[in-house]
Amino acid sequence: MKGAKIFEKVYEVVSRIPRGKVTTYAVIASCVGTHPRVVAMALKKNPRPIEIPCHRVIRSDRSIGGYTPGGPEVKRALLKEEGVRFDRDGRVLEEFVIRDPQQLCESRIDKRKVFIST
């Protein structure tokens, strides 16, 4: 996948993160077959923040990382508004983190209808 196509795939996966949950750049990268830094670049250029909830993507160590429209303080406020909680060091509590890529990745099963004749 190249440039714009991989960015669109990143946006598609990020759109699946439910309100009140977060995931990591690495999980998104696993879903789209790229490096976590490519995911970060895509999110930095996110054309529709909030609609494509890039504030729900954090670092693997549970720190919140950056956020282009407004900085980390805005990202933290958005997450708190959604019910995400943080520990004393400012890291997202593990219970709010989706670590399993299968929860967000597109199903690998062909979804076309299968007709079986009897």
Report, as residue numbers or ranges, the catalytic residues.
Answer: 54
d(CA 80, CA 59): 17
**CB–CB of 64/75 below 8 Å?**
yes
CB burial of residue 48 (10 Å; 0-12, 13-18, 19+): exposed
Pick from 14, 83, 20: which is nearest to 52 by CA?
14
